[in-house]
Amino acid sequence: MNANNILGQSSLISKMERILAGGRIVHAYLFTGPAGIGKKTMSNLLAQALICNEPGDKPCNRCSTCRQFLSGNHPDVIWIRRPEDKTGIIVDQIRSMQAIIKVKPYQAGKRICFIENAHLMTEQAQNALLKTLEEPPSYTVFFLLSDNTSTLLPTIVSRCQVFRVGSLSRETIKDILNQRLGISFEEAGTYAALSQGNPGKAISLAGDEVFRSCREKLINSLSQAGSLKILDIYGLFDENKEHIDELLDILEAWFRDLLIYRETKDASLVVNLDKMPQIVRQSSNFTSWELKKMLENVAFSRKVLKSNCNYQLTIENMLLSF
- Does 20 engage in binding with Zn ion (CB under 5 A)? no
Q: Where are the beta strands (DSSP E) in the chain?
A: 28-32, 77-80, 111-115, 140-146, 161-164
- Does 66 engage in binding with Zn ion (CB under 5 A)? yes
Residues touching Zn ion, count (CB under 5 A): 6
From first CA to last CA, the distance across the chain in angstroms is 53
Cross-strand partners of 115: 80, 144
Question: Which region, judged by CB under 5 A, interacts with Zn ion, from 47-55, 90-98, 152-160, 181-189?
Answer: 47-55
Between 59 and 105, CB nearer to Zn ion: 59
Cα(253)–Cα(57) distance, rounded to whole angstroms? 43
Between 16 and 90, CB nearer to Zn ion: 16
The shares of helix, strand and coil residues in the chain, as percent rounded to the nearest 5, are 60, 10, 35
Which DSSP category does 162 fall into?
Answer: E
Cα dihedral 105, 111, 114, 120, rounded to 10, equals 70
Question: Which region, judged by CB under 5 A, interacts with Zn ion, from 32-40, 48-56, 76-84, 139-147?
Answer: 48-56
Cα(152)–Cα(122) distance, rounded to whole angstroms? 9
- Does 116 engage in binding with Zn ion (CB under 5 A)? no
List 13, 63, 153, 276, residue binding Zn ion (CB under 5 A): 63
Q: How far is the CB of 55 from Zn ion (least distance, A)?
A: 10
Question: Which region, judged by CB under 5 A, interacts with Zn ion, from 18-26, 45-53, 154-162, 242-250?
Answer: 45-53
Q: Where are the beta strands (DSSP E) in 13-154?
A: 28-32, 77-80, 111-115, 140-146
212, burial (CB in 10 Å: exposed 0-12, middle 13-18, buried 19+): middle
Q: How far is the CB of 2 from Zn ion (least distance, A)?
A: 9
List 1, 52, 121, 156, residue binding Zn ion (CB under 5 A): 52
Between 63 and 276, CB nearer to Zn ion: 63
Question: Which region, judged by CB under 5 A, interacts with Zn ion, from 13-21, 66-74, 181-189, 239-247?
Answer: 66-74
Q: How far is the CB of 77 from Zn ion (least distance, A)?
A: 13
Between 56 and 154, CB nearer to Zn ion: 56
Between 53 and 178, CB nearer to Zn ion: 53
Between 65 and 149, CB nearer to Zn ion: 65
Cα(80)–Cα(117) distance, rounded to whole angstroms? 9
- Does 60 engage in binding with Zn ion (CB under 5 A)? yes
Asked if 122 and 90 touch (Cβ cutoff 8 Å), the reply is yes
List 6, 20, 40, 54, residue binding Zn ion (CB under 5 A): 54
Cα(225)–Cα(285) distance, rounded to whole angstroms? 9
Q: How far is the CB of 67 from Zn ion (least distance, A)?
A: 8
Binding footprint of Zn ion on the chain (CB under 5 A): 52, 54, 59-60, 63, 66
